[in-house]
Amino acid sequence: MLLSMLVSARPAGARCGMHGHSPRGGGGYGGIWAAEAAWQAWLARERQAEALRRLKSAEHQYAGAVKAREEGKTWLAATLYLRVALARPKNRHSAAAKQALASMADEGRSQMKKADELLEKGEIEEGFKQLDVLASDYVIVPRFNHEIADHVRKLHHEPKYQAVLNEPRAAALVDEAQKSEAKGEYCCAFIAYEEAAELLPAPSAQRAKERWTAMKQDPKIVADAEACRKLRECLRMFHVAELLEKSSPGKAEQMFKKILARSPSGSEVHRCASEEIAKLHGHGQKKEAGG
């Protein structure tokens, strides 16, 4: 089944699980990256940013900020409050927006203290999970954004936390690598081992480093891994371009064209990028006709 998805231009015997994955509909690409909390957070952020672009006036922005805060969308709320607070000339919501940002900063500090208490109790993973969420959600809140970022950065570099923090991710990558090896997808396995090896001093990272070092002795695996890496980057680029299609079709088209230039002509992502470009041109022609 997997072999049937490879293009003839690929070297005989080479196998890559990424090559036949479609970037659409939560297929192969979605399955690989959906488990990444950072990737999912980024997608959520982009969707909020799209909503943000649609709010123009200070009146609408302030109302949107209040609603976003009530719904727990901290990043969106802070962004809208900040826009209202910094708008010139001042508007009737300027002072209230500044007060809301100050309140959000105090709220963040309170949550940061609770997360630190979890670390003191030895609940390292949960404590850092809450701190990382705070750093992401409050990145727009003045003053506190720097406080939480510096605090998390320092804690992440403390040796007593690193092995515990890195182990879940390293173990997951090793498991992914071993499954890829079992299927003969050595390029994907190589990349997963390489990423895991960067998570020392986690125990699984040490095992990954040993296997990755051994695989590096095979030039073919190294070359295939580089091709696989480029394909993964094209898949990432495709999803970013999709998010930009409505708000910035010109930028989206540029990204789709880059995918065409960098991806194998027989790959699914190449085909999908070509279709998206055609779709963008179709919309443009309809607008011109309607105008």
- Which of the four pLDDT bands, split at 50, 70 and 90, describes residue 268? very high
CA–CA dist 197, 203 (Å, integer) = 10
CA–CA dist 171, 179 (Å, integer) = 12
Whole-model pTM?
0.55
pLDDT tens across 103-112, in order? Answer: 999 999 999 9
HSE-CB of 34 using CA atoms within 13 angstroms? 9
Average pLDDT in the 120-129 region? 93
pLDDT tens across 42-52, in order? Answer: 667 766 666 55
CA angle 60, 61, 64 (to 5 degrees): 85
pLDDT tens across 156-179, in order? Answer: 888 889 899 899 999 999 999 999
Do 7 and 267 touch, CB atoms closer than 8 A?
Answer: yes
3-state secondary structure of 118: helix
Where in the chain are the domains? 56-157, 226-285
CA–CA dist 210, 110 (Å, integer) = 43
Do 218 and 181 touch, CB atoms closer than 8 A?
Answer: no
Q: Would the pLDDT of 7 be above 60?
A: no
Q: Would the pLDDT of 145 be above 80?
A: yes
What is the structure's pLDDT at 31? 40
Do 177 and 163 touch, CB atoms closer than 8 A?
Answer: no
